[in-house]
C-alpha cells in the first residue's frame, strides 16, 4: 500500500520543520538508528570509516558532504570551506579521491558569480591533489545553470569535474550530446526530484526507455560514463549493450547509493565492473533521506518501526 504514496507527499514532508526536528533527534543517535541505513554518519571520520570498509570489499567511493539550498553567501562560504577540509581529510586518509557536490550548497540560490568562485576554490584545491569532482544535478530549475557553469569552467581549462544527467528530463538527449561533444564525464541517473510533466516524463516506462537510450549514447560516444542505478533491468541492459558492442568493462562504471542493494553492488564488482558507491555524510541529511524514502515508500515502515523503538529507549 505504501508503494502507492506519491513522491509529492515526501517532497511536501521534506519541508516540514517539525518532522525534520523529530528525525534529526532520533535518526542518527545510535549505531542502529534509522537514518544510518542511507547515511554514513554525521562526521568526516564516520564517512572515512564507511569508505574504508567499502574499499576493502573492492569497490570505490565518492563522498558527498550533505547540504543544499543555502540562503546566504556566508553559508555558501562555510560549505565551501568545509569541502576544502573534506578534500584534505580524504587525501590524508588515502581513500578514493572523488567527491560529489551540489551547486545550491555553494550558493546558487543566492548569487551565481559567488557560486562559480566557490566551485573554483574547490576544483583548484581538489585538482592539486588529483581529485575528481562530480557536480550533482538538482531540480529542473537548476539544470540549465548547472550545465552552463560547468561549460564555463571547462572552457577555462578545468578537467577534473563532471556532471549528472537525469533520464526523466525531456531535454536530456540534447544535454548528453552537448557533454559528449566536450568530452566531459557524465553520471546518468533517472532523477530524484518531483518535476512537472512539461519538463519530465512521468511514467516509469518512459523514464526507463530514456535511460536505456542515453546509456547507449554514453557508452558509445561518452567519456568514462557512470551508469548510476539500482534497477536490475537498467543494469542488464547496460551489460548487454556493452558486451554486444565489444565495449570494455573498464571504459565505464556502475554506481549505487550507500546502503541500497548491497547484494547487487558486490555482485557487479565481483563480475569485474568498476563500481563506485556514493557515500553521503553530514548533519544536513534530512532532504537526502526524504528523497530516498520517496523512491521506495516501503522504506517508511522500517523508519516508523525504528522511531517507535528509539522513543522507548532512554
Ligand X SMILES: Cc1cc2nc3c(=O)[nH]c(=O)nc-3n(C[C@H](O)[C@H](O)[C@H](O)COP(=O)(O)OP(=O)(O)OC[C@H]3O[C@@H](n4cnc5c(N)ncnc54)[C@H](O)[C@@H]3O)c2cc1C
Asked if residue 190 lies in contact with residue 167, where contact means CB atoms within 8 angstroms, the answer is: yes
Specify the residue, 57 or 73, whose C-beta has the smaller distance to ligand X: 57
Provide, rounded to whole angstroms, the least separation between the CB of residue 314 and ligand X.
30
List the one residue from 33, 115, 146, 166 that touches ligand X (CB under 6 A): 166
230 binds ligand X (CB under 6 A): yes
List the one residue from 90, 137, 149, 242 that touches ligand X (CB under 6 A): 137
Burial of 138 (0-12, 13-18, 19+ CB in 10 A): buried
Q: Segment contacting ligand X (CB under 6 A): 104-112, 212-220, 239-247, 253-261?
A: 253-261
Provide, rounded to whole angstroms, the least separation between the CB of residue 74 and ligand X.
25
37 binds ligand X (CB under 6 A): no
Torsion sign, CA atoms 96, 151, 101, 261: negative
Q: Return d(Cα 243, Cα 248) in angstroms, integer.
A: 8
Number of residues located near ligand X, criterion CB under 6 A: 23
The separation between CA 71 and the C-alpha centre of its own chain, rounded to angstroms, equals 21
190 binds ligand X (CB under 6 A): yes
Known active-site residue 89:
no
Provide, rounded to whole angstroms, the least separation between the CB of residue 101 and ligand X.
10
Residue with cell 548487454: 240
189 binds ligand X (CB under 6 A): yes
185 binds ligand X (CB under 6 A): no
Q: Segment contacting ligand X (CB under 6 A): 65-73, 170-178, 184-192, 304-312?
A: 184-192
Which residues make Cβ contacts (< 8 Å) with residue 134, sequence separation at least 6? 62, 98, 99, 100, 101, 161, 162, 163, 164, 187
Q: Which is catalytic among the residues 187, 194, 276, 292? A: 187
Q: How far is CA 13 from CA 54, 70, 186, 208, 247, in A?
A: 32, 19, 31, 26, 43
305 binds ligand X (CB under 6 A): no
Neighbours of 61 (CB within 10 A): 28
Specify the residue, 41 or 162, whose C-beta has the smaller distance to ligand X: 162
Asked if residue 151 lies in contact with residue 181, where contact means CB atoms within 8 angstroms, the answer is: no
Residue with cell 519541508: 15
Provide, rounded to whole angstroms, the least separation between the CB of residue 115 and ligand X.
16
List the one residue from 48, 70, 123, 257 that touches ligand X (CB under 6 A): 257
- C-alpha dihedral (252, 258, 259, 262), degrees to nearest 10: 20
Asked if residue 278 lies in contact with residue 65, where contact means CB atoms within 8 angstroms, the answer is: no
Name which of 246, 242, 240, 251 is nearest 274 in CA terms.
251
Q: Which is catalytic among the residues 36, 64, 97, 136? A: 136
Q: Return d(Cα 164, Cα 1) in angstroms, integer.
A: 32
292 binds ligand X (CB under 6 A): yes
Known active-site residue 187:
yes
Provide, rounded to whole angstroms, the least separation between the CB of residue 193 and ligand X.
6
List the one residue from 55, 78, 117, 231 that touches ligand X (CB under 6 A): 231
- Report 193-212 residues binding ligand X (CB under 6 A): 193
Residues that are catalytic? 136, 187
Report the interface residues with ligand X, using CB under 6 A: 136-137, 164, 166, 189-193, 228-231, 255-257, 260-261, 278, 292, 295-296, 299
Amino acid at each position: 500500500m505504501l508503494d502507492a504514496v506519491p513522491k509529492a507527499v515526501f517532497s511536501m514532508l521534506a519541508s516540514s520543520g517539525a518532522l525534520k526536528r523529530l528525525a534529526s533527534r532520533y535518526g542518527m543517535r545510535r549505531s542502529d538508528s534509522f537514518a544510518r541505513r542511507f547515511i554514513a554518519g554525521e562526521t568526516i571520520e564516520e564517512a572515512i570509516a564507511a569508505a574504508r570498509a567499502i574499499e576493502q570489499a573492492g569497490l570505490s567511493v565518492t563522498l558527498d558532504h550533505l547540504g543544499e539550498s543555502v540562503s546566504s553567501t556566508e553559508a555558501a562560504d562555510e560549505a565551501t570551506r568545509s569541502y576544502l577540509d573534506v578534500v584534505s581529510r580524504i587525501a590524508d586518509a588515502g581513500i578514493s579521491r572523488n567527491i560529489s557536490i551540489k551547486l545550491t550548497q555553494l550558493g546558487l540560490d543566492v548569487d551565481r558569480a559567488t557560486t562559480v568562485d566557490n566551485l573554483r576554490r574547490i576544483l583548484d584545491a581538489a585538482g592539486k591533489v588529483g581529485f575528481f569532482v562530480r557536480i550533482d544535478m538538482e531540480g529542473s530549475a537548476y539544470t540549465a545553470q548547472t550545465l552552463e557553469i560547468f561549460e564555463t569552467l571547462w572552457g577555462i581549462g578545468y578537467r577534473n569535474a563532471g556532471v549528472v544527467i537525469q533520464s526523466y528530463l525531456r531535454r536530456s538527449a540534447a544535454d548528453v550530446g552537448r557533454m559528449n561533444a566536450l568530452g566531459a564525464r557524465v553520471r546518468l541517473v533517472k532523477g530524484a526530484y518531483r518535476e512537472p510533466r512539461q519538463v519530465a516524463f512521468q511514467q516509469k516506462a518512459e523514464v526507463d526507455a530514456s535511460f536505456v537510450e542515453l546509456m547507449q549514447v554514453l557508452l558509445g560516444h561518452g567519456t568514462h560514463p557512470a551508469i548510476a542505478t539500482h534497477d536490475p533491468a537498467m543494469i542488464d541492459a547496460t551489460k548487454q549493450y556493452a558486451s554486444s558492442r565489444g565495449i570494455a568493462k573498464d571504459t565505464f562504471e556502475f554506481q549505487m547509493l550507500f546502503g541500497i542493494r548491497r547484494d547487487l553492488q558486490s555482485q557487479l564488482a565481483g563480475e569485474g565492473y568498476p563500481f563506485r558507491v556514493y557515500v553521503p555524510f553530514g548533519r544536513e541529511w534530512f532532504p537526502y533521506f526524504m528523497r530516498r524514502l520517496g523512491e521506495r515508500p516501503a522504506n517508511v515502515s522500517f523508519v516508523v518501526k525504528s522511531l517507535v523503538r528509539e522513543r522507548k529507549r532512554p
